[in-house]
Amino acid sequence: MAQEIEVLQGGGVTTPQGFLAGAVYAGIKTYGEDKLDLGLLVSDRPASAAGTFSTNAILSGSVRVSRQRITRGTARAVVVNSGCANCCVGEQGIKDALETTALVARTLGIPQEEVLICSTGIIGVELPMGLIREGLPKITLSREGGHAFARAIMTTDTRPKEIALAFPIGGKRVHIGGCAKGAGMVHPNMATMLAFLTTDAAIAPPLLRAMLKEAVDVSFNMIDVDNDQSTNDTVLVLANGAAGAPPIQPDTPQASLFQQALTQACLFLAQEIVRDAEGATRVFEVTVEGARTLADARLAARTIASSTLVKAAIHGGDPNWGRVMMALGKSGAQVEEGKIALYINGICIMEGGVPIPYMRAALAHSMKGPKVHIRVHLGLGDARATAWGSDLTEAYVTLNSSYTT
């Protein structure tokens, strides 16, 4: 079925029909590559909505508001700001999130409960509501506004991350659009960073929710930049049915195709986040096979992708594979040393728990490329998972030593 999904170059969240977006520079963000900092994404009709949120116990007021509202299963608009996380500011964080969504609702003439909000940036300072009150009315919504919206969510990202896909459902051409931001404070075990997905397919909230979870589990939840988990992580999807295709029903070929496309969009955006991680020069993929359980495979792959020492070795193009074994061992996944096989870029390093003589110079050379693939076979079962990590660089440290000062 893969050939049915077409990638639309230059597309984004407003590629699906019935979605409009726009952004302005309100003055909140005083750093980063792009100065847009206040964005709005709107469906011209009611849409099914689903979301996944950070599991951090300290949460942004924006996350608290959106998490509560998403339980309704429908939404019309998402307002986002970068530069300020609206987090660790007490009850004011909730108040400001409510006021911001109320302003949007009034402008659009829709119920306040239909407006979701996301914030990203510095923790511990209040949203500059004066700037937001002034900036919001200046946003012009358009069918091309998805690109401006994608730029308005960036913090230390060096480029926007966007995707659009098209595929047929019930004789109609439907679309999925998406954008995301990442850069730092990114670690598995939650919905990482901000990502927004739109679709003009018709799909009821419960099915949309289940499909989003499945897509997020193999994409955003399997990437790591720095082992730290944000207080603001959010993935949202809106489905407005504007393509006119019949509603997607569970356990049908259409549901399967939609799941495939949604997962493809999430995988692309998740990997874009890793590729554009703070200071990153190289991405690595970790596949763990032969695990006893899926939970073990996921845990092992994510622990290896998150290891500081593995990341540093990848940065140096250094075939220091003992660190992969160290990370595997500390992961908590069930392993039997004598059954482990390890491959880096297809070169067998270890088999049956014993190192194989390999051409060190050839491996080191292949590790200097932009992507490194680590494959571990545990020899205990059939479960398999893949995770992605960025390397740890001097530039990451420099960037994060002086973020607020």
User: Which residues are part of the catalytic machinery?
Assistant: 192
CB of 192: closest distance to a copy of itself in angstroms?
A: 12
Closer Cβ to a copy of itself, 90 or 171, answer by number: 90
Closer by beta carbon to a copy of itself, 266 or else 376: 376
Q: Which is nearer to a copy of itself, 30 or 320 (CB)?
A: 320
Q: Binding segment for a copy of itself among 42-50, 65-73, 161-169, 335-343 (CB under 8 A)?
A: 335-343
CB of 46 to a copy of itself, least distance (A): 33
Give how far the C-alpha of residue 389 lies from the chain's centroid of Cα atoms, to the nearest Å. Answer: 13
The residue among 5 and 125 lying less far from a copy of itself, judged by its C-beta, is 125
Binder of a copy of itself out of 112, 329, 347, 371 (CB under 8 A): 329
Stretch that binds a copy of itself, among 18-26, 172-180, 252-260, 353-361 (CB under 8 A): 353-361
Q: Which residue has the tokens 């545990």?
A: 378
Alpha-carbon gap, residue 405 to 268, rounded angstroms: 33
Q: Does 87 bind a copy of itself (CB under 8 A)?
A: yes
At 20, list the tokens. Answer: 């409009």
Residue (of 178, 156, 207) closest to 78 by Cα position? 178
- 124 touches a copy of itself (CB under 8 A): yes
Q: Which residue among 8, 94, 204, 309 contacts a copy of itself (CB under 8 A)?
A: 309
Contact partners, residue 50, CB within 8 Å, separation at least 6: 70, 73, 205, 208, 209, 211, 212, 236, 237
Q: Please, what sign has the CA dihedral across residues 328, 333, 336, 342?
A: negative
Q: Which of 56, 198, 263, 345 binds a copy of itself (CB under 8 A)?
A: 56
- Looking only at residues 204 through 263 of this chain, which bind a copy of itself when binding is defined by CB under 8 A? 226-231
User: Residue from 47, 185, 283, 341 that binds a copy of itself (CB under 8 A)?
Assistant: 185
Query: What is the DSSP track for 260-316?
Result: HHHHHHHHHHHHHHHHT-TT---EEEEEEEEESSHHHHHHHHHHHHH-HHHHHHHHT
Helix intervals (H) in 111-160: 129-135, 146-152
> Please, are residues 342 and 228 in contact by the beta-carbon 8 Å criterion?
no
Beta strands, E only, 193-239: 194-199, 223-224, 234-239
Residue 390's nearest CA partner among 282, 261, 228, 288 is 282
**197 near a copy of itself, rule: CB under 8 A:** no
> Which residue from 315, 341, 375, 389 is in contact with a copy of itself, where contact means CB under 8 A?
315
Measuring CA to CA, which residue among 88, 100, 238 is closest to residue 177? 238
Minimum CB–partner distance for residue 89 and a copy of itself (Å): 7
Question: What distance in Å separates the CA atoms of residue 39 and residue 190, rounded to the nearest whole number?
Answer: 24
Instruction: Name the minimum Å distance from CB 162 to a copy of itself.
Output: 27
273 and 223 Cβ atoms separated by less than 8 Å:
yes
- Pick the binder of a copy of itself from 1, 7, 58, 348 (CB under 8 A): 58
Binder to a copy of itself among 30, 140, 256, 308 (CB under 8 A)? 308
Tell me which stretch binds a copy of itself (CB under 8 A): 22-30, 41-49, 98-106, 395-403: 395-403
Q: Which is nearer to a copy of itself, 31 or 140 (CB)?
A: 31
Give the tokens for residue 353.
């728990």
Q: Which of 2, 3, 10, 90 is in the footprint of a copy of itself by CB under 8 A?
A: 90
- Give me the residues that bind a copy of itself (CB under 8 A), please: 55-59, 85, 87-90, 92, 122-125, 184-185, 226-231, 307-309, 312-313, 315-323, 325-335, 337-338, 350, 352-355, 364, 392-394, 396-398, 400-405
